[in-house]
Amino acid sequence: MLTGMILGVLVGIVLGLTGAGGGILAIPALTLGLGWPMTQAVPVALIAVGTAAAVGAVGAWRQGLVRYRAALLMAVLGAAVSPLGLRLAARLPESLLAAMLGALLLFIALRTLLATRRSTEDERLGRSANCVLDPCTGRLCWNLKCSATLAAIGSLSGLLSGLLGVGGGFLLVPALQQFTNVRLNGVIATSLMAMALVSGSTAVSAIYAGASIDPLGIGFVAASVIGMLVGRRLLSRLPTRFIQLGFTGLCAVAAASLLIRP
């Protein structure tokens, strides 16, 4: 039980610091740290990520940072597509799912490492984007291009949530940074709301399909919420580069463990 609680806190801290990485590390924490099979780990990871993300999103909502229309659109499409990912996962061998998750982690580690050398946020906001903010109202300008972009992001996030049990934030945050001119704190806040909704709906689908949560899983979920609160407090005290490099190292270690395990 203690190991599960510690791992839950660590996952929550990473989620609070990055707005993205906790979900992608929840499955390795459960499969490698506790020795659970993927089928047992997926619903617990989704509930943990969804609950922790919801706590973070509530705090961000109070600060007026959440782009709730964008989050709702992505969440609705993600929830609609996630059952397809669950059905695919049920038909694939666990070794293949673990290898896919390991490869995804390696990709994310490389992307995060490269991101430390890219342009500053002010330079990013100066680029053209598919979804832009109205300078008068401060809200997104909704058109076909913007709606289609957010719908595609949400759909892919939902598919991966069902297939690999990840929260989707690892995709939502960089995608929103790439295709919108919303500032990073707003990107993370919007990502947390969408993650909470997509992860929650996917977890419900998994439980409806027969998955169960034991007391250790409930403890992991509770610990992840505590970790989220700690991570949000640490966010303003740690340099961004330090957070990025630390996250890169965690992803690389988890990926190697998944890919070389028997």
Return the pLDDT at 23: 65
HSE of 230, CA atoms in CB hemisphere, 13 A:
15
Residue 192 makes CB contacts below 8 A (sequence gap 6+) with: 19, 53, 54, 56, 57, 60, 66, 169
C-alpha of 80 from chain center: 17
Task: Tell me how far apart the alpha carbons of residues 19 and 16 are, in angstroms, rounded to a whole number.
Answer: 6
Question: pLDDT tens, 154-183?
Answer: 998 888 888 887 767 777 887 888 888 888
Torsions phi, psi for 7 (to 5 deg): -65, -40
Instruction: Write down the H helix ranges in the chain.
Output: 2-18, 21-28, 38-62, 68-91, 94-115, 121-125, 144-164, 169-179, 184-208, 215-235, 240-260
Tell me the pLDDT tens digit for each residue of 34-74: 888 877 888 888 888 888 888 888 888 888 888 999 999 99
pLDDT at 73: 94
Contact 261, 98 (CB under 8 A): yes
Structure confidence at residue 152 (pLDDT): 94
Q: pLDDT tens-digit profile of 247-257?
A: 788 888 878 88
pTM across the whole model:
0.77
Which backbone phi and psi does 168 adopt, to 5 degrees?
Answer: 100, -10
Report the range out of 28-32, 148-152, 190-194 with the highest average pLDDT.
Answer: 148-152
Read off the tokens for 124.
């990013």
Cβ atoms < 10 Å from Cβ of 64: 9
Q: What percent of the chain has pLDDT over 70?
A: 91
